[in-house]
């Protein structure tokens, strides 16, 4: 019997699952050996994948299949993030346009590394997660599973996820996955603010927002977020930093908006403070 403490059949938001999937998103940054050990300690059978800059793992027991995508651990990986030209999905069942860098990155691992575990799930429930770039890949993987493969996704939790598609896509995403998708944003984290709204990109509707004091708000009002620097628009720092798409320079500034993006140092401690023991 699996020792992975997880509510497999949860419908709607689950505090326990938010924490467990956050832990999985954090461990995705470790080596394949470390991931295998983490999974084995929870009686999960895992498969690590590494296709250039796209890494992650799948894990399963007799109840569930996890698909976990690694985020950005090297500044150079933002080259993928900055390839923001929109692209029509290859599958006619997906409407709108997608961020080409994220979408093409998912397709590199989909058929060979991710989809087989989902297709062969049997009665297992499918859960998907990721942080940062991994959150973008996780969101697109959930869309690919439901809208193209016909694989039901029980839940999607992302942390510090950038925007992945235009309004037409997000309207469809919300209609199909909206009640099962939860997007965590930490205080001044800058990454969920890109690509910009002015470029046509939008987010899914279910936002779980950590305020500066660590309190969690579900779909907070604009008034609740105004006190957080760069909480609603990246434009404010464009002028201050003379930002021209150079994320290396942005990260080097050590801004709070970058510090708040860290999975092990920011998201995971806040998830634990909010949900440990629940």
Residues 146-165 as b or e (16 or more Cβ within 10 Å = b): bbbbebebbbbbbbbbbbbb
User: What is the percentage of the chain residues whose pLDDT exceeds 90?
Assistant: 70
Range in 4-8, 22-26, 244-248 the model is least confident about = 244-248
The answer to whether the CB of 232 falls within 8 A of the CB of 222 is yes
- Helix, coil or strand: residue 25: helix
Instruction: Give the pLDDT confidence score for residue 85 in this predicted structure.
Output: 85
pLDDT surpasses 80 at 73 = no
With tokens 């923001």, the residue in question is 84
Cα 143 to Cα 162: distance, rounded to the nearest angstrom: 15
Is pLDDT larger for residue 77 or for residue 34? 34
The answer to whether the CB of 61 falls within 8 A of the CB of 117 is no
Question: Of 153, 57, 186, 154, which Cα lies nearest the Cα of 113?
Answer: 57
pLDDT tens, residue by residue, 267-277: 999 999 999 87
Torsions phi, psi of 89, nearest 5? Answer: -60, 150
Distances (CA, A) of 69 to 63, 76, 210, 256, 268: 20, 17, 22, 24, 16
Q: What is the mean pLDDT of residues 233-253?
A: 51
Instruction: Give the pLDDT confidence score for residue 129 in this predicted structure.
Output: 98
Q: What is the mean pLDDT of residues 62-76?
A: 85
The C-alpha torsion from 199 through 177 and 260 to 276, rounded to 10°, is 170
Crossing angle for the helix pair 15-27 and 268-275, to the nearest 10 degrees: 160
Q: What is the mean pLDDT of residues 135-152?
A: 98
Residue 50's DSSP bridge partners are: 55
Instruction: Give the pLDDT confidence score for residue 220 in this predicted structure.
Output: 78
Range in 48-57, 156-165, 202-211, 218-227 the model is least confident about = 218-227
Instruction: Give the pLDDT confidence score for residue 228 in this predicted structure.
Output: 52
Confidence of residue 252 (pLDDT cuts 50, 70, 90): low
pLDDT surpasses 70 at 122 = yes
Is pLDDT larger for residue 194 or for residue 222? 194
Torsions phi, psi of 25, nearest 5? Answer: -65, -35
Instruction: Give the pLDDT confidence score for residue 54 in this predicted structure.
Output: 93
Cα 92 to Cα 210: distance, rounded to the nearest angstrom: 36
For the chain, give the mean pLDDT.
Answer: 88
Instruction: Give the pLDDT confidence score for residue 257 in this predicted structure.
Output: 59
pLDDT surpasses 80 at 81 = no
Is pLDDT larger for residue 84 or for residue 145? 145
pLDDT surpasses 70 at 247 = no
- For β-strands 98-99 and 86-87, DSSP reports them as antiparallel
Is pLDDT larger for residue 76 or for residue 192? 192
Q: How many CA atoms lie within 13 A of 249 on its CB side?
A: 9
Set out the domains of the chain in order of their start, with CATH numbers: 15-272 (3.40.50.1820)
Q: What is the mean pLDDT of residues 227-232?
A: 49
Instruction: Give the pLDDT confidence score for residue 194 in this predicted structure.
Output: 87
Cα 139 to Cα 164: distance, rounded to the nearest angstrom: 8
Distances (CA, A) of 40 to 8, 20, 113, 206: 18, 15, 19, 32
Torsions phi, psi of 153, nearest 5? Answer: -105, 120
Instruction: Give the pLDDT confidence score for residue 124 in this predicted structure.
Output: 98
Instruction: Give the pLDDT confidence score for residue 155 in this predicted structure.
Output: 98
- Helix, coil or strand: residue 91: coil
Residues 6+ apart with CB under 8 A from 151: 118, 119, 121, 126, 145
């Amino acid at each position: 019997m699996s020792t992975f403490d997880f509510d497999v059949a949860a419908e709607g938001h689950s505090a326990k699952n938010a924490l467990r999937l956050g832990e999985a998103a954090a461990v995705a940054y470790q080596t394949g050996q470390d991931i295998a050990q983490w999974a084995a300690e929870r009686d999960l059978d895992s498969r690590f994948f590494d296709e250039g800059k796209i890494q992650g793992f799948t894990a399963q027991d007799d109840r569930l299949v996890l698909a976990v995508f690694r985020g950005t651990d090297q500044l150079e990986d933002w080259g993928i993030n900055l390839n923001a030209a929109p692209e029509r999905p290859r599958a006619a069942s997906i409407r709108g346009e997608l961020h080409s860098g994220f979408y093409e990155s998912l397709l590199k691992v989909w058929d060979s590394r991710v989809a087989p575990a989902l297709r062969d799930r049997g009665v297992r429930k499918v859960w998907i997660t990721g942080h940062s770039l991994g959150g973008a890949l996780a969101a697109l993987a959930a869309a690919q599973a439901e809208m193209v493969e016909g694989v039901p996704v029980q839940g999607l939790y992302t942390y510090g996820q950038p925007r992945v598609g235009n309004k037409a896509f997000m309207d469809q995403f919300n209609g199909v996955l909206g009640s099962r998708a939860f997007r965590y944003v930490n205080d001044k984290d800058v990454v969920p603010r890109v690509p910009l709204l002015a470029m046509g990109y939008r987010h899914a509707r279910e936002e779980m927002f950590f305020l500066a004091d660590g309190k969690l708000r579900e779909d907070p009002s604009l008034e609740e977020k105004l006190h957080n620097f760069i909480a609603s628009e990246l434009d404010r720092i464009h002028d201050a930093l003379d930002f021209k798409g150079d994320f290396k320079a942005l990260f080097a500034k050590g801004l709070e908006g970058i510090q708040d993006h860290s999975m092990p140092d920011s998201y995971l401690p806040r998830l634990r403070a909010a949900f440990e023991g629940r």
